[in-house]
Amino acid sequence: MAHPQQRRAQGVVRFYDFLPEGNSFLDDVLKGLAQPQKTLPPKYFYDARGCELFEQICELPEYYPTRTELAIMREHAGAMAKFLGPDCQLIEFGSGSSRKTRILIEQLQPPLYVPVDIADEAMRPAAEGLARAFPWLNIIGVCADYTRPLTLPEFVGVPIGRKAVYFPGSTIGNFTPHEAIGFLQLARRMVGPGGALLIGVDLKKDKKVLDAAYDDAAGVTAAFNLNLLARINRELGGDFQLRRFSHKAFYDEAKGWIEMHIESRASQFAHVGGTRFRFSAGETIHTEISCKYSVEEFRAVAHHGGFEADQTWIDAANMFSVHGMIAV
């Protein structure tokens, strides 16, 4: 029997850049470091070096989410494709290296795939890899900050059944539950009523397991965190002395999230773009949260965002969940 892809013509591959003009990195750094609790947004982790370090994190023995979600995808991609249905336009946020997406696309055979990522350096080669693996696939790659309202380019010429947002990796965990609701409302607007959401969500578990996953023995997560300061030095002419800062990450059981900080080892100053910032010894820059949910907690958040659970796939050890949801 002929596979559907053998009957389809060569796919179209196009890229759009929707990143705002001007240096929003500098603006966000100056704003974040001026606050009483200094903060830097996690989206700036992902320069070329940061993407490389994140790929290394995904291979760490302590960092279970990537391999667990991949296993869930391998086992259930057929059921997920059935849930999403035929002629489904697949929109992916934070596509990164697209390993999980490949498994899904193989099963789903979508008429159109729209990867959206802030990191052009990661998204383009990944999209081009998918274009080689699936020559029939239409791909519209969009470089954009998906935490802001976004209108995707239209693509005419293929019939679209439903739109689906694929958001793997538990990247939703970078939002507080309150922010996650706002983000899901944006996704809901994008897929419209009856549209779908397929989302990977890391589950609550033993604090020891979570602490180790974000503070690995090899120090890769530390390097990933501190690369944010290195990036400020490289791109914004900052003068952070990396050896005088350290990585700090821990699971806050009351909040239900991992907190990641960069801690100043001494009283010191650093300069960015002509502005001087003072650090006392032990003072931190808050760089990331990674929120963990029970299945019920995530369904409640999704409900407020306009999605209802249809199916949930979980690994046997209850580490990670993938939710298939419908916009209501």
Rg (C-alpha) for the chain, rounded Å, is: 20
CB-count exposure of residue 185 (10 Å: 0-12, 13-18, 19+): middle
Q: How far is the CB of 247 from ligand AVJ (least distance, A)?
A: 10
Residues touching ligand AVJ, count (CB under 6 A): 11
User: CB-wise, 81 or 184, nearer to ligand AVJ?
Assistant: 184
Q: How far is the CB of 122 from ligand AVJ (least distance, A)?
A: 12
Q: Is 169 in the site for ligand AVJ (CB under 6 A)?
A: yes
Q: How far is the CB of 288 from ligand AVJ (least distance, A)?
A: 6
Give the integer Cα–Cα distance in Å for 118 and 30: 20
Residues 206-225 that bind ligand AVJ (CB under 6 A): 214, 221
Which residues fall within 8 angstroms of residue 73, CB to CB, at 6 or more apart?
80, 100, 103, 104, 168, 322
3-state class (DSSP) for residue 9: coil
Give the integer Cα–Cα distance in Å for 288 and 257: 10
Q: How far is the CB of 102 from ligand AVJ (least distance, A)?
A: 18
User: CB-wise, 141 or 169, nearer to ligand AVJ?
Assistant: 169
Q: Is 305 in the site for ligand AVJ (CB under 6 A)?
A: no
Residues 281-300 that bind ligand AVJ (CB under 6 A): 288, 290
Give the integer Cα–Cα distance in Å for 157 and 134: 18
Stretch touching ligand AVJ by CB under 6 A, among 14-22, 163-171, 268-276, 306-314: 163-171
The residue whose two tokens read 């081009």 is 128
Which residues lie near ligand AVJ (CB under 6 A)?
A: 57, 65, 169-171, 173-174, 214, 221, 288, 290
